[in-house]
Amino acid sequence: MESFGRLASGETVHRIVLQGGGLSAHVITRGAAIQNLRLDGHAAPLVLGLERLEDYERHSPFFGAIAGRFANRIGGARFMLDGREHRLDANDHDHCLHGGAKGFSEKLWTVEQQGDSHVVLRLDSPDGDMGFPGRVTARCRYELAEGGALAVTLSAETDAPTVCSMAHHSYFNLEDGGETPATGHEMQISAETYLPVDATLIPDGAPQPVDGTRFDFRDMKRIDAYGPDAAYDHNFCLDRSGQMQEVVQLRSPRSGVSLTVETTEPGLQCYTAPSMQMSVSGLGGRIYGHHAGICLETQIWPDAPNRADFPSAVLRPGQIREQRTIYRFKKG
C-alpha cells in the first residue's frame, strides 16, 4: 500500500496494488475506486482512470468508484419509508444521483483487510448522510481470481431502516484504454425488458419489452448498431431471483479482448457516456472523449424507493445487504 496523495481535508488517500488470475489492479481508497485494471497480454488499461488525485476530486465522473448509498437516481430526491418522508441531496436536476454530491464515491474508505490478490475496504456512513436515514457500515471486497476474474462483493448493515443499493462504476474500454469510442464494441445483454425514462432519466412506467426497440441486445451486436449516437443510460431488467447469473457479454473485435459479467443483482444500468469530454488526461496521457468507455452497473432498479412494484432496496437492522458481481476478461 502506498500514498496516492492528500485530500483538501488533509487526509491521505492510499493506493493498493493487486495481482492475480492474469489481472493486475490499482485501487485507491477515495471512493474505493479501481484506478487501473490490466489483463496479461493486452497493453492498454481495461478501464478509464486518472493519474492524479486532484483530477479525481475535480473532474472524475465516478471513474471506477463505488456508487452509493443508493446507486442511480431517486426521483425528486425524496422517498417514503415506514410512513416518514426522507429528503435527500438533489445533485442531478431535482433528483438524487448515486447518493448525492458527497455520496460513497466521494468518501475516504479505510482498508480493513489486504492480500496479494484481494482487498476489503470499509465505509461508515452516518445517520442523515446526504439525507439518508440510519447509520450504515458498507464494505467493498475486490478480488482478482483465476481465469481473469475481477470479483466485486458489496455489503451493508444498518442500525435503523434505510435504503441501500451500491454499484461498481468502472468505464470499460477493451480496445485501447479509451482513445477510441467503445461504441464499436459488440455487446449482448440477457434482458427481455428495460425501463423507459423521462427527460430527466427517471423511470416512466413499467418495464417494457426490448423486442422491436433499440434496446434489443439479446443477440450480440455493435453498441452503435441502432445509430451513431448510441446514447444509453437505461436499466435493463434481469432475473430477480438473487442467484448469480450471466447477464452481459462485451467484446472488442479489434483487440480480441472480451468481458463477461455475472451478477446477483436484478438490474443492469448500461451507460455509454455520450457526453463525456475530459479536460484532463487519463491513464497513459489519454484524453477521454464521447463514448470513451461503457459502464455496466449491476444494481437495484433506479427510483426503487418510490416504486412498490420494483425490487426493494429497503435495508433493516439485523439484515445484511450483499451483492456480488464478477467481471471475467479474456483475450483471444
Query: Active-site residue numbers?
Result: 169, 297
Q: Strands of 73-218 (E only): list them.
A: 73-74, 78-81, 84-87, 96-97, 110-114, 118-125, 136-145, 149-158, 162-163, 167-169, 171-172, 186-189, 193-194, 208-209
The DSSP 8-state label assigned to residue 35 in this structure reads E
Which helix (H) or strand (E) is 59 found in, with range?
A: helix 53-59
- CA 298 from centroid of its chain's CA atoms: 7
Q: What element of type H or E holds 256? A: none
In sequence order, the β-bridge partners of residue 186 are 222, 251
Smallest CA-to-CA distance from 325 within 219, 217, 169 is with 169
Is there a contact between 262 and 326 (Cβ–Cβ < 8 Å)?
yes
Calpha distance 51→49 (Å, rounded) = 7
Q: Identify the residue whose cell numbers are 467481471.
A: 327
* CA diameter of the chain: 55
Q: Check whether the bond before 69 is cis (ω within 30° of 0).
A: yes
Identify the CA nearest to 82 among candidates 303, 304, 322, 305.
305
